[in-house]
Amino acid sequence: MFSAQYAKQILLMALLASFGACAQIAPVRTWPELRDAVIDRVQRNAYPLTGFDQADVKEIMGRIQTLDRDDWANAWMVQGEKYMSLAKTLDKQPVQASEAYLNAWRYFSFGAWPTQNSVQKKKAFERSTQAFRSYVALQRPGIEVLRIPFEGREIVGYLQLPQGVKNPAVVLSIGGLDSYKEFVVEQYGTHYINAKLGYLALDMPGTGEAVLKVDVGAERIFSKVIDHLKSRPDLASSNLFVMGVSWGGHWSARLGFLEKDRLKGAVVWGGPVDRYFDREWQAKALSTKEYLFDLFPARAGVYGVSELEDFYQYGPKMSLVKSGLVSKPSTAMLLVNGEKDSQVPIEDLYALLKLGTPKEAWVNPQGGHIGRGAGWPDIEILKSVIVPWLVRQNNALH
């Protein structure tokens, strides 16, 4: 007969196998380790828990006892539903209702984080989208839920323009591996608007509501978006920029070359370019504790694969160096990252910097992924480095 302690060990091993991609490639945190890491990040107001309420998160953590993905999603959805119910009682108080819908989105979306690879995580994602659409409907300046027909489906994005600015410049702001277009609106939108820039928040391929998985040629999503924006008389169609964060930075880099004649600038904020796609880098990077959990499923999911070898084989074709693209002329580019990034190698930034058209760069010598570090949280980099660069580029065009 099994001892109780032995039975607990067997159960833990099974749960680790269900939650992690593969113990050899990405040792997962145990449940106590993950719980503590989540609480630590919410206390520091650090990604991916920026803006979350500490008491709410501690309550949610108390509901979870295992690493099961559906248990995770269900616990966060309970909190999301509380805020959805609250928001619906505040129909005559739009400011308070807006905040309640935003909180609902936060908890639903984190229940779905970082990738929707279980039944309840998919449900959490659907509820997060519903909550965010309700939030969007209450915003001023207004946020348009933009829908662009594309190959029998539709590209969905959030377009917000600054008030009192005729024909404003627009930034195509592309989210990352797990920071979808809703996160772009919530975290970055105000800073664009305050700088008198319009923005269109978009999912990168393989995430959120994107219509294509990651592949060579998937940038045609964004080319279609540029076609649409160029056709609108209410925009400065000659003043379009692109900014991609993390994996989204790959697409801003790619567009900086392929759409150089239609874009006036591209910001590559910690984007993968070359070495990131190599087997050797991924074998090392998949075990980083800089990422909270489920890194392999998230990275593999954007390709539409689930096996490690398929993942390794898929990546290299995405390299902008191996394709020769980085040696070609580009639009103006700003490259941003941290020297100590454990998720995207800093060598990828230097590969862009050293080849092709001259570019500008900002590197935090002590920074981790996307340059974040002591004194340089994500938003400070956006406010102090990225947005001012976009404004300067836009002003130079006038």
Task: Using the predicted structure, report yes or no on whether residue 96 has a pLDDT greater than 70.
Answer: yes
Sheet hosting strand 198-202, strand order edge to edge: 143-150, 153-160, 198-202, 170-174, 240-245, 265-269, 333-338, 360-364
> According to the model, what pLDDT value does residue 25 have?
55
Place of tokens 């379009």: 240
Report pLDDT digits (tens) over 153-179.
999 999 999 999 999 999 999 999 999
**Cα distances (angstroms) measured from residue 114 to each of 312, 386, 390:** 20, 25, 29
pLDDT tens-digit series, residues 274-297: 999 999 999 999 988 889 999 999
Please tell me the predicted confidence (pLDDT) of residue 312: 97
pLDDT of residue 4: 42
pLDDT at 2 over 70: no
For 8-54, the pLDDT digits (tens) are 343 333 333 443 434 345 557 899 999 999 999 999 999 999 999 99
| CA gap 87, 100 in Å, rounded | 5
Contact indicator for 206, 301 with CB cutoff of 8 Å: yes
- 330 vs 178, 264, 325, CA distance in Å? 27, 10, 9
Mean pLDDT of the region 178-203: 98
- pLDDT beyond 90 at 398: no
Higher pLDDT, 20 or 358: 358
Say if residues 220 and 193 touch (Cβ distance below 8 Å).
no
pLDDT tens digits for 287-344? 888 899 999 999 999 999 999 999 999 999 999 999 999 999 999 999 999 999 999 9
3-state SS class at 200 = strand
- Cis omega before residue 345 (within 30°)? no
Residues 398, 396: Cα–Cα separation, whole Å: 6
Task: Judge whether 100 and 91 are in contact, CB under 8 Å.
Answer: no
Q: Check residue 45 and report its DSSP letter.
A: T
Band of residue 397 on the pLDDT scale cut at 50, 70, 90 = confident
pLDDT for res 238: 81
Domains of the chain: 1-138 (no CATH), 142-398 (3.40.50.1820)
Q: What is the reported pLDDT for 236?
A: 76
Mean pLDDT of all residues belonging to the chain = 93
Q: What is the DSSP string of 95-161?
A: HHHHHHHHHHHHHHHHHS-S---SHHHHHHHHHHHHHHHHHHTT-SS-EEEEEEEETTEEEEEEEE-
Cα–Cα nearest to 173, from 204, 147, 129? 204
Q: What is the pLDDT of residues 210-226, one digit of tens each?
A: 999 999 999 999 999 99
* 70, 121 contact by CB (below 8 A): yes
**What are the C-alpha distances in Å from 38 to residues 48, 65, 277, 295, 356?**
9, 14, 28, 15, 42
Given a cut of 50, whether residue 60 has pLDDT beyond it is yes
User: How high is the pLDDT of residue 66?
Assistant: 94
Task: Please name the residue ranges forming H helices in 195-269.
Answer: 220-230, 247-258
pLDDT of residue 248: 98
Mean pLDDT for the stretch of residues 116-139 = 98
Q: How many residues does the chain have?
A: 398
| Averaged pLDDT, 174-197 | 98
Judge whether 378 and 336 are in contact, CB under 8 Å. no
